[in-house]
Structure 1
Amino acid sequence: MTARLVSTGDAARELGIHRETLRAWWRAGLVTPASETAGGHARWDVDQLKRDLRALQQRDA
């Protein structure tokens, strides 16, 4: 099954956060997009992003 990749804004909307928050997490190295476009725009696999965030929460708990 192929992952559905979405923009930073769409991924943030699905998570219920502001897109700048997601960008800040990316810049801090907390999360990594599934891919980047030639223009440097992130594309996110939201399911993987949610798993990554859960792992971060468990690590920090």
Structure 2
Amino acid sequence: MSRPGRLVTTAEAATAIGVGRRTLSRWVLDGKVEPTLTTAGGHHRWDVDDLKRQLRELRKSGELN
């Protein structure tokens, strides 16, 4: 688990939630989840707790199987 307030890479976030990096990247492209920060170079950074909250909401609404 990440430290509170620590932003992690897409690969680290994907590992933390048990999916592949490409899956998490696809969810971003599909507009299902939103990274905490996108760098000037286009790299996403994640707050894992916020990502987990987003996924809980998606599951509740049935948008994520």
Structure 2: state its 5+ residue gaps: none
Q: Identify the residue that residue 12 of structure 1 maps to in structure 2.
A: 14
User: Which digits, 9 at most, give the CA deviation of each residue in 1:1-47, with x for residues without a partner?
Assistant: x6210000000011111000000000000000000111100000100
> Across the two proteins, how many residue pairs are aligned to each other?
60
Runs of 4+ in 1 over 2 A off after TM superposition: none
Q: Which runs of 5 or more residues in structure 1 are unaligned?
A: none
% identity of equivalent residues: 50
Q: TM-score, normalised by structure 1?
A: 0.92
Quick check: which one's helix share is greater?
Answer: 1
**Superposition RMSD in Å:** 1.3
